[in-house]
Structure 1
Amino acid sequence: MTEIAIKVTDLTVKIGKKDILSNMSLEIKKGEIFGLIGPSGAGKTTLVKTIIGMEKATTGQTEVLENRMPNLSVINKIGYMAQSDALYTDLTAKENLDFFASLYSIKRNEKKVRMNYAAKLVNLEPDLSKKVSNYSGGMKRRLSLAISVLADPDVLILDEPTVGIDPELRKSIWEELAELKTNGKCILVTTHVMDEAEKCDRLAMIRNGKIIAVGTPQELSSKTTSGKLEDAFLEFGGVK
């Protein structure tokens, strides 16, 4: 049985005549936290959207769990947290969780357990009865993250998941991601925060729609004179 959860092959995405992604190839394993790092506009979100089938490839292809995307049969095995929150603000947080649990076809006897787990993960238990319209930006991000883990997905794709979240909760979320990894989950995270990038098992550095380097944080850092990951990104990208 293959250990590859996500496979990207010769992927190019164009908008008009402009390459948003250019000839990308990548393999991400089960039981791995893989980070995509790069500045805003580098192509991280477009890559994520193409992997799950929300963006159309111009050439090349993406596969998730050995299925070419887009593929409806795989959707319930993917937990996705977008960069922009997609929540029903006129509903409470609990009603949002209940709605998405039903959308994921979670069985009735499992729904309460999964909802409680998700709420506890992001420390929203005291605020579940509040309408989302009364949530802060950070609370909305936490609810979006809770929704992404509801269905106990095999593949978890998180686009800048901890933006606006306080350091203590960020730490506990990363501890839970590490636990999910040990259970064989594939976790793909986009970030521009270097201390989060260092928590990943492997990284792909992206600049101008191209992968400029792939490796463990230690491997990439060791190739710089300073030994710092942020300098590795600058040096691989040709920025001095």
Structure 2
Amino acid sequence: MFNVEFLHVLREYEYKKIVKRFLLDARILEIGGGTGYQAKRLTEDGFIVDSIDIPNSNYAGQLEFPVQPYDGRNIPFPDDSFDVIFSSNVLEHVLDLPYLQAEMKRVLKPGGYCVHLMPTGTWRLWTNVAHYTEFFQKLFGLAPRLIPRGVSRYALSEVVFVLRLMVGTAKHYAIVPRHGETGNALSEIVTFSSRHWKKHFANQLFTMDEAIPVGLFYTGHMVLGPRLSLGTRQKLSKLLGSACVIYIVRPA
């Protein structure tokens, strides 16, 4: 179940990994700022930050930092404005990514670079598994209500209601929704892989400096949420794979 507070716990862990990749006194543009949590943290650490996001973002009503709305294509800043461009779980949601990346090159200063946090193919795989795990949990939770509490009309109508609820739940969970803008939940296992992104950046004339696994396991369904400690999630990442990778790229 989605939980903004737990999302911030994950983002704080990732932030501590990412902030080491920024130059001191850098002017940073964050694309896809969400609640503005990470932009706020960067500002607290002394960086100059501008954050932008589309106006109908899921986080539009939960802002912690002045995130500027933009059209999702044209970055509303002049050429050579930023030392670093930062995004967290954003690029996979951009339909015309080559256009936006051309915009990134335009607003980067000479010598500037990008820091992108991206979900991995293993995150996609385990999110698929968690999707159906959640489905069966809901079915098992409804199953005891199939036993009628008597022979009254009300008791029988309650059983019919639960059956309809179970059918509706099955329809809702039948197909795993894709996370990004293209493909499906299965093809994303490939398109979210480091190999795919390295090839993509090269095709868009970006040179890759680093690709660093964050070292934290979680899924899109936030399985167990805060009940599964960060320490345990670190250990699980060594067995099941890191949920995200940090890519550091610069215009070739």
Name the TM-score, length of structure 1 as normaliser: 0.32
More strand by share: 1
Structure with the bigger RCO (C-alpha within 8 Å, sep 6+) is 1
Answer with 1 or 2: which has the greater Rg: 2
More helix by share: 2
Name the TM-score, length of structure 2 as normaliser: 0.31
